[in-house]
Amino acid sequence: MNIESMGMVEMRRMGMYDGSHQIGIWADCFKAESSQNTSSSAVLEEQDGRIENLSEDAHQGIVGPSKPYEQEASKPSDKLIRRLAQNREAARKSRLRKKAYIQQLELSRIKLAQLEQEVDKVRNQGVYIGEHVGNSTAGYSGSVNSGIAAFELEYGHWIEELSRQICELRAALQGSASEIELGILVENGMRHYENLFRMKSIAAKSDVFYIVSGLWKASAERFFLWIGGFRPSALLKVLSPQLNPLTEQQRMAVCNLQLSLQQAEDALSHGLERLQQALFETLAVDPLNSSGRTSYMGLMEQAMLKLEALASFVDEADNLRLGTLQRMYQILTIRQAARGLLALGDYLRRLRALSPLWAARPRQLSQDHGNII
Amino acid sequence: MKKMAAALSLDGGESPEMMMAENPVVVFSRRSCCMCQVMTILLSMVGVRAKVVEWEEEEAATGEVMVAEEGMPVVFIGGERIGGLERLMGMHLSGRLVSRLKAAGASFH
């Protein structure tokens, strides 16, 4: 019977157990795998080594002297020396593995930081910086779409130009500029919005879902989203309070505009719902229907044909927005129109600014640390 | 124009012109067109029921040449071509739609 296969009981019977203190400790070690009472540093150098040692060798029983008659109380046996050496080796290997793992983690961390930087760079190339600090423009993280990238870039410039125009309007109104000067500013403002809708129309041909979902907008703006932009009726709500005093004729015209606008908006909304329904019905076919008259591709083609109408909805919604602005331009005096454009630009600026402010707000953490009062 | 009208038989052989003569508001459209629905919904909100003429794909090409220079859907009020949805909405926003409908003799519900 070789020593490795001997259990503790056998060893004790053979008189080996009443040996050195160290062997006793060894025995305790292997008796309980979860034992924490090994304080002898000579026995184990590392926590890792010990656990490994236990799992590898525990089944082999107690380590004892290789030959019972060679055992001496104070001198560690060959077997013990070998065991200690193995232990050190195992511990060393474990340390090396741990080190390698940590190194790998560090490398991954650096790579991740690099990737994040790249993503930010690509985003900022297109997305205007300005008031988007801390605001995620909702991952337009798909493959690079040059039409959309171009749109985002242009939109950044558009926002800058809008800010400039708003400043000019404010200065002109506060500084009592002439009607002619105001008229020019108003016309510029109108043309600026026309440009935006033109840009959107082109971008919608690249990716209509991007436009419909308002992905270029700040998150707070998207809260109010209606078919890829702001609601025309909401536009009136922003403008109207700023325009007093209105003549009775003007008041009636604005009122009628409000009413017809609401009807047009509702008609578009309903139409869009019908489109959604049609798309839903096209895609939601019975998966277990084996008669399968329409193949998968045929089905997808049908769906895509229906989707083509989506770009028209964006166009018509934008037409409604522009139409509202143009109608107001007809109803109002130049000065009123200037005030209206200023109010609109200001409102949009504040709405955009809400996003990063909201994202950066201090949170009220729960102070419940178990204080019992 | 009349030859083409004869070739194009709709709803029991009526030409577009006959349609327009009988109905103050007519919308010509492709089948299951969403924008056509938006038009009819808007008109019904205003209080008018439009006559909708839907053309199959084969007829649509000829129909477009005849009546819808700018494409479909197209609305005619009192026999006069108004245009597409954009025109219709613009007319409504500027408050001219209702008077136009009344002038064409449309009945409001």
Q: What average pLDDT does chain A have?
A: 79
Please give the residue that has the higher pLDDT: either A8 or A278: A278
Residues in A whose CB is inside 8 Å of some CB of B read 253, 256-257, 260-261, 263-264, 266-268, 270-272, 274-275, 278, 309, 312-313, 315-316, 319-320, 323-324, 327, 330
**Cα–Cα distance measured from residue A214 to residue A201, given in angstroms and rounded to the nearest whole number:** 13
Residue A72: what pLDDT?
53
Task: Please answer yes or no on whether B34 and A313 come within 8 Å at the CB atom.
Answer: yes
pLDDT higher than 60, residue A134: no
**Cα–Cα distance measured from residue A194 to residue A318, given in angstroms and rounded to the nearest whole number:** 9
Alpha-carbon distance A262 to nearest alpha carbon in chain B (angstroms): 10
Which chain B residue's Cα is nearest to A277? B34
Which residue from A80, A73, A56 is spatially nearest to A3, judged by alpha carbons?
Answer: A80
The ipTM (two decimal places) reads: 0.86
Q: Looking at the partner chain, which of A264, A272, A274 has a beta carbon nearest the beta carbon of B42?
A: A264
Report chain B's terminal Cα–Cα distance, integer Å. 34
At A371, is the pLDDT very low, low, confident or very high (cuts 50, 70, 90)?
low
At A263, is the pLDDT very low, low, confident or very high (cuts 50, 70, 90)?
very high
- Tell me the HSE value of A297 on the side-chain side, using a 13 A CA sphere: 0
SS (H, E, C) A81-96: HHHHHHHHHHHHHHHH
Alpha-carbon distance A231 to nearest alpha carbon in chain B (angstroms): 15
Contacts of B41 in chain A (CB under 8 A): 266-267, 270-271
Please give the residue that has the higher pLDDT: either A248 or A34: A248
Residue A360: what pLDDT?
87
Contacts of A202 (CB under 8 A, 6+ apart): A147, A151
Q: Looking at the partner chain, which of A278, A313, A323 has a beta carbon nearest the beta carbon of B89?
A: A323
The token duo for A140 is 């337009």
Task: Please answer yes or no on whether B97 and A268 come within 8 Å at the CB atom.
Answer: no
Q: In this predicted model, what pLDDT tens digit does every residue of A156-214 receive, in sequence order?
A: 999 999 999 999 999 999 998 899 999 999 999 999 999 999 999 999 989 999 999 99
Residue B1: what pLDDT?
46
The token duo for A244 is 């007093």
pLDDT higher than 60, residue A132: no
| β-strand pairing of B51-55 with B74-77 | unpaired
Percent of chain A with pLDDT over 70: 69
Q: What are phi and psi of B30, to 5 degrees?
A: -75, 165
Task: Please answer yes or no on whether A275 and B34 come within 8 Å at the CB atom.
Answer: yes
pLDDT higher than 70, residue A269: yes
Residue B72: what pLDDT?
82
Q: Looking at the partner chain, which of A257, A272, A316 has a beta carbon nearest the beta carbon of B86?
A: A316
Residue B4: what pLDDT?
46
Interface with chain B: mutation pick from A260, A277, A280, A326, highest number of B CBs within 10 Å: A260
The token duo for A314 is 């964006």
pLDDT higher than 60, residue A356: yes
Which chain A residue's Cα is nearest to B94? A327
Cis peptide before A245 (omega within 30 of 0): yes
* Helix, coil or strand: residue B10: strand
Residue A123: what pLDDT?
67
Q: Is the pTM of this model over 0.90?
A: no
At A143, is the pLDDT very low, low, confident or very high (cuts 50, 70, 90)?
low
The one-digit pLDDT tens for each residue of chain B (109 residues) are: 444 444 455 445 577 788 888 899 999 988 888 999 999 999 999 999 999 988 877 676 666 666 666 778 999 999 888 999 999 999 999 999 999 999 998 888 8
Residue A256: what pLDDT?
95
- Most confident option among A13-17, A59-63, A102-106, A367-371: A102-106
pLDDT higher than 90, residue A155: yes
Task: Please answer yes or no on whether A274 and B85 come within 8 Å at the CB atom.
Answer: no
The token duo for A165 is 């125009």
Interface size A-B, in CB pairs within 8 Å, comes to: 63
Contacts of A273 in chain B (CB under 8 A): none
The token duo for A228 is 């890829």
pLDDT higher than 50, residue A307: yes
**B90 in A contact zone (CB under 8 Å):** yes
* Helix, coil or strand: residue A61: coil
**Cα–Cα distance measured from residue A3 to residue B51, given in angstroms and rounded to the nearest whole number:** 103
Which residue from B99, B92, B85 is spatially nearest to A257, judged by alpha carbons?
Answer: B92
Contacts of B33 in chain A (CB under 8 A): 309
Q: Lowest-confidence range among A130-134, A225-229, B97-101? A: A130-134
